[in-house]
Amino acid sequence: MKNRQWVLRRRPESDIEPGDLELRESDVRPLADGEVLCRNIYLSLDPTNRIWMSGRDQYLPPVEVGAVMRGGVIGVVEQSRSQRFRVGDIVKPVFGAWEHYTIAGEKAMRPHKPAPDLPLTAQMSVLGSTGMTAYFGMLDIGRPKPGETVVVSAAAGAVGSIAAQIAKIKGARVIGIAGGRAKCDWLVNELGLDGAIDYKAGDIGGALDRLCPNGVDVNFENVGGRIMSEVVARMNDFGRMPLCGMISTYNNEGAIPGPEDFGRVLMHRLLIQGFIVIDYLPRGGEALDQLAEWVRAGKLKWKAHVVDGLENAAEALGLLFSGGNDGKLLVRVSPEP
């Protein structure tokens, strides 16, 4: 029985290049007592994967050069030497990886609580880490009040689109920033946002001025760089900025720049808070129950962009940086049961 695994061969210097990751074949070893073999079905591709590939200061140890690439997966148990798991169970390994099979001890394997009415791809997007990231960032840190103006960057992205809709549910006026006409139309026509800004069309500042005449109360930040500076420059007194990511900076080495005029944080008494979804896992149940309720009520829409085949994972990751994906980016490693 053969495994296939993506190994980090070298740290990318800027954009991910062919050869930074390498697909290797190996034998699947026999299980020890208490271990479980999971055949992975979906692999989640996320901007933070690029952080893990780098040597920069980060929130988890970087993936070592020569090690299998880390990534969130959902799969099905094919062999079990644990009392806790049976063949056919749907599971999420705690330490998921870019591989066909994952072997883990029973304590490093999480049973998946099924939502039988919702597809498995939903469990890897709106009802997975993606949805929880949006939920806690927007509600715990952003705390939008009815009538306030909320801006979400990368608003057509997996996290951004959920965050924007949560702010709408809470009664805020929501403006999304996304790349291209089609995504902007989707935000306004399908998700019901109050406006969308195509950053590829230029003059983000002018568009923000038009669409946010009363300034910005919450900036759900996914992008960093110039877009972040333009939004921060329009934030109101006591504005909140959940700092979820800065994808525009991940392909560059070295220090990540902040908002151009940091003085605004002082003068307008802004709150900026970085957060990572893993910090909220103990409260995950609260988020998932609420998110599922909103999905079932039709208040929360989501979509998945599924790329077939583990062998296409490395190339697919680049879509996140070009904006080429349309919805939560997943790799279908093997068929659903």
List the x/- string, 253-292, binding to its own copies by CB under 8 A. --xxxxxxxxxxxxxxxxxxxxxx--x-------------
Classify residue 189 by its DSSP letter: I
- Give the shortest CB-303-to-its own copies separation in angstroms: 26
| CA atoms within 13 Å, Cβ hemisphere of 19 | 2
- Give the shortest CB-238-to-its own copies separation in angstroms: 8
Phi and psi for 61 in degrees, rounded to 5?
-60, 140
If the CB atoms of residues 74 and 223 are measured against its own copies, the closer one turns out to be 223
If the CB atoms of residues 47 and 327 are measured against its own copies, the closer one turns out to be 47
Note whether 149 and 211 are within 8 A (CB).
no
> What sign has the CA pseudo-torsion 256, 17, 66, 33?
positive
* Whole-number CA gyration radius for the chain: 20
Residues forming a β-bridge with 8: 21
If the CB atoms of residues 58 and 214 are measured against its own copies, the closer one turns out to be 58
If the CB atoms of residues 28 and 276 are measured against its own copies, the closer one turns out to be 276
List the x/- string, 208-237, binding to its own copies by CB under 8 A. ----------------x------------x
Q: What is the footprint of its own copies within residues 42-61 (CB under 8 A)?
A: 51, 56-59
Distance CA 37, CA 77 (A): 6
Q: Are strands 35-44 and 173-178 parallel, antiparallel or unpaired?
A: unpaired
Structure tokens at 135: 């939920």
Note whether 98 and 43 are within 8 A (CB).
yes
If the CB atoms of residues 263 and 282 are measured against its own copies, the closer one turns out to be 263
- Give the shortest CB-226-to-its own copies separation in angstroms: 13
- Give the shortest CB-233-to-its own copies separation in angstroms: 9
Stretch that binds its own copies, among 76-84, 167-175, 189-197, 251-259 (CB under 8 A): 251-259
Distance CA 150, CA 152 (A): 7
If the CB atoms of residues 267 and 297 are measured against its own copies, the closer one turns out to be 267
Under the rule (CB under 8 A), what is the footprint of its own copies?
51, 56-59, 224, 237, 243-246, 249, 255-276, 279
